[in-house]
Amino acid sequence: MFKLIDLQDTIRIPPETFGNPLEKVGRDQVKTKYEGIVDEELGYVIAVTSVEVSPIGKIIPGDGATYHKVTFSLLTFYPVIQEIVEGDVVEIADFGAFVRIGPVDALLHVSQLLDDYLSYDEKQGVLLGKETKRRLTSGDHVRVRITAVSLGRAGGSGKIGVTARQPFLGKLEWLKLEASKTKKTAEKEATESKEESSTK
């Protein structure tokens, strides 16, 4: 789930940046500190969207810098367990596929892909279902449910697990095919029931 989060902090304005616009230096300092981090509370910090720096700062003895209060907004991605997301397959391995959701790759383990035996073709980079003959390869678009989230301590990369073994989940091509089969079956049943009622 993408979120905009408003925060406050104190930033250090180095002496070598004195004379530069305070808002620009403040934005650079906030970006350096927050963009790209993974935090248990914030999630994956993607971008700093707005920054307001207090023009009044403090000087600490022994440090030539000034310290200013800053109010800013962050665009973050926080994966929520049971959330349904769509993403592209970016890598196939013998143990599963990596799906890009937001700014991060989630693991779709082979046991969570299909209710079928899957074989891995390393040359083609494909996971292939034995009975269904369904193929999953890099570039495929899939809909999955988040089943495990481990963001770890600040600075870590975090890990996300997903599943496609539930109704209405999987490769989007498969879902369209199933929807058209269901529609044809429903139309056929409706036609048969009309014919039965007209013969009575």
Q: Average pLDDT in the 148-169 region?
A: 81
Rounded distance between C-alpha atoms, residue 36 and residue 14, angstroms: 22
71 assigned to some structural domain: yes
131 assigned to some structural domain: yes
72 assigned to some structural domain: yes
Q: What share of the chain has pLDDT > 70, as a percent?
A: 95
Parent domain of 52: 2-77
- Same-domain pairing of 137 and 101: yes
Last residue of a domain, one of 19, 42, 77: 77
Last residue of a domain, one of 33, 52, 77: 77
- Same-domain pairing of 108 and 160: yes
Domain containing residue 142: CATH number? 2.40.50.140
Rounded distance between C-alpha atoms, residue 50 and residue 160, angstroms: 29
190 assigned to some structural domain: no
199 assigned to some structural domain: no
99 assigned to some structural domain: yes
Burial 144-175 (b: 16+ CB within 10 A, else e): bbbbebebeeeeeebebbbbbbeeebbbeebb
Number of domains composing the chain: 2
Rounded distance between C-alpha atoms, residue 64 and residue 139, angstroms: 52
What's the pLDDT band for 154 if we cut at 50, 70, 90? very low
- Same-domain pairing of 116 and 50: no
pLDDT of residue 23: 92
Is residue 77 over pLDDT 80?
A: yes
pLDDT of residue 199: 64
The pTM (predicted TM-score) of the whole model is: 0.75
| Residue bearing the bigger pLDDT, 158 or 143 | 143
Q: What share of the chain has pLDDT > 90, as a percent?
A: 57
137 assigned to some structural domain: yes
- Same-domain pairing of 73 and 88: no
153 assigned to some structural domain: yes
